[in-house]
């Protein structure tokens, strides 16, 4: 970047204790399961919002990242034009993530039965009408939840920073974290996504941050 380029907005990452507190605060929230999956997998906000059931295999415990929600003239669109080539990846799911998705499948069924009209997009985390969430609504929802829980305000993309930082502090190699996040090298993990947190546990299994969801 040229010297005159605007500096990037500093990013925040929650530590393990804050992440557990946020996890608990997300229970019962419309977007809670989506934010929880981001904490467990490091998905980008658009990738999580654009996740469809046909990309999930609960038998093998994997997610294929193929689509994302993006804005076009302030309209929400579902696209396969992902951020980078490495964004197309397969993520292994922890038991906590698989349980979360099984529960979410039941929630979506209930939403569909209750809806007068349903946009049949096959989304894992749809609105009450089956459509994709607008990023602004996601940001506002997470800010409200953080405020009510007495936590620092984090944006949806900073859940990704949180996942990467906790994994790094647990000793997971940065090459593995880069694969999880959809980066071709460790540079972004080293320079952008890895925040200094207090180490709290040994290396986690890549693809999930199970201790966030574990009972205290």
The SS3 assignment for 71 reads strand
Could you give the angle at the alpha carbon of 32 between the alpha carbons of 194 and 147, nearest 5°?
A: 75
pLDDT tens digits for range 142-189 = 999 999 999 999 999 999 999 988 988 888 888 888 888 887 777 767
> Rounded to an integer, what is the distance from CA 120 to the centroid of its chain?
22
pLDDT in tens, 5-18: 444 455 688 999 99
**Mutual orientation of helices 156-169 and 174-181 as an angle, nearest 10°?**
160
Specify the 3-state DSSP secondary structure of 12.
coil
Partners of 68 in beta bridges: 79
What is the distance between the alpha carbons of residues 81 and 87, in angstroms, rounded to a whole number?
10
Q: What is the pLDDT of residues 184-211, one digit of tens each?
A: 777 767 666 655 444 332 333 444 455 5
Is residue 201 within 8 Å of residue 16, measured between CB atoms? yes
Task: Enumerate residues 6+ apart whose C-beta is below 8 A from 181.
Answer: 42, 160, 164, 188, 189, 193
Query: What confidence tens digit (pLDDT) does each residue in 58-80 have?
Result: 999 999 999 999 999 989 999 99
């Amino acid at each position: 970047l040229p010297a005159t380029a605007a500096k990037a907005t500093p990013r925040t990452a929650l530590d393990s204790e804050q992440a557990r507190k946020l996890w608990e605060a997300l229970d019962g929230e419309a977007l809670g399961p989506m934010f929880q999956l981001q904490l467990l997998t490091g998905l980008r906000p658009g990738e999580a919002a654009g996740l469809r059931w046909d990309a999930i295999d609960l038998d093998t415990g994997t997610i294929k990242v193929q689509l994302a929600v993006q804005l076009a003239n302030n309209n929400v669109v579902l696209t396969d034009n992902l951020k980078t080539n490495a964004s197309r990846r397969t993520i292994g799911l922890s038991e906590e993530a698989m349980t979360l998705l099984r529960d979410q499948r039941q929630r979506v069924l209930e939403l569909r039965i209750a809806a007068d009209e349903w946009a049949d997009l096959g989304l894992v985390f749809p609105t009450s009408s089956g459509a994709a969430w607008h990023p602004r609504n996601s940001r506002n929802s997470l800010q409200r939840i953080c405020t009510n829980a007495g936590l620092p305000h984090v944006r949806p993309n900073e859940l990704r920073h949180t996942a990467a930082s906790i994994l790094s502090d647990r000793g997971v190699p940065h090459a593995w974290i880069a694969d999880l996040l959809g980066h071709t090298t460790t540079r972004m993990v080293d320079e952008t996504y890895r925040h200094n947190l207090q180490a709290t546990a040994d290396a986690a299994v890549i693809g999930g941050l199970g201790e966030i969801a574990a009972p205290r």
